[in-house]
Structure 1
Amino acid sequence: MAPERADSSMQEIVVEGLPDPPRFGSPTALAIRAGQQIFISGTLAWDADRKLVGVGDVEVQTRHILDAMAAILRTQGASLRDIVKINFFLTDIRDKERIWAVRREMFGDHRPASTLVEVSQLVDTEAKLEVEAIALVPPSRP
């Protein structure tokens, strides 16, 4: 039996068309909403069947990940502009300029707090980056 949640306002977010972690044996959620906060788990450039999109192309992977995050946020009445913290984990730090270009394109002048680090490997060995984020939904939104 699973333990009860301390806060009944927590809800798991599932989005049709995005990979559902439990479907692939993962004990994690795609994202969780707790009150007005949305916590998006580390996201790779996977399609709904967990196949990597944009193999070898960090810009395609970055755009796919941010599009997936935007889809998650839309289900909660939010957008990329509501992200307050975003973390990028790269397998090659030399890709940062290409990632930043996509980020500027998709975020415009919105500049959330951010971390960007190089890692030795990701769960999908062909993935070039993984991204996680925290967003705040303004109280006037559902």
Structure 2
Amino acid sequence: MSGSSFEEHIGYARAVVDGDRVHVSGTTGFDYAAMTISDDVVEQAEQCLRNIGAALAEAECSFADVVRVRYLLSDRDDFEPCWPVLRRHFGDVRPAATMLVCGLADPRMKIEIEVDARRGSGDRD
């Protein structure tokens, strides 16, 4: 649990650990401590990844263990500006990835990121 009010209101966990698998729910750019969100998609992407990084760390793994990532955006034109941020976290990891354009739960949300990780997979060649 991340402390996000969304988890309580909707009824889900930020991440679920199942053996060596870690499933991190779709994570938005909200700062969950303050429940604020930037208007800038790149800042939202940065915050998404801080939130995901915290969930992965609590599950005793890291971005190096991510094997699958899904990007959900409300506007396809917002994806390319996020690439440098995404590359910084996943460029050496090279997880399988998908980007979808869809409506998100709150109109302030511009990007949501979901990852699946496998503990110890960061050791792969």
Q: Into which bin does the TM-score normalised by the smaller protein fall?
A: 0.7 to 0.9
Structure with more relative contact order (C-alpha pairs < 8 Å, separation 6 or more)? 2
Greater share of residues in helix? 2
> 1:62 is paired with a residue of what secondary structure?
helix
Amino acid at match of 1:27: G
> 2:70 is paired with a residue of what secondary structure?
strand
The structural deviation recorded for 1:94 is 1.1
TM-aligned CA distance change 1:118 to 1:78, over 3 Å: same
Which structure is larger by alpha-carbon Rg, 1 or 2? 1
Please give the TM-score of this superposition, normalised by the length of structure 2: 0.87
Q: Tell me if the contact between 2:4 and 2:35 (Cα under 8 Å) persists in the aligned partners.
A: no
Q: Tell me if the contact between 1:19 and 1:50 (Cα under 8 Å) persists in the aligned partners.
A: no
Measured in 2, the distance between the counterparts of 1:60 and 1:44 equals 11
Measured in 2, the distance between the counterparts of 1:59 and 1:78 equals 24
Measured in 1, the distance between the counterparts of 2:34 and 2:106 equals 10
The structural deviation recorded for 1:52 is 3.6
The aligned counterpart of 1:89 is: 72
Q: Which runs of 5+ in 2 are unaligned?
A: none
> 2:11 is paired with a residue of what secondary structure?
coil
The aligned counterpart of 1:138 is: 120
Count how many residue pairs are aligned between Structure 1 and Structure 2: 121
Q: Tell me if the contact between 2:37 and 2:108 (Cα under 8 Å) persists in the aligned partners.
A: no
Q: Which runs of 5+ in 1 are unaligned?
A: 1-13
Q: Percent of aligned pairs with the same residue?
A: 30
Measured in 1, the distance between the counterparts of 2:97 and 2:85 equals 15
Greater share of residues in strand? 2
Measured in 1, the distance between the counterparts of 2:72 and 2:34 equals 19
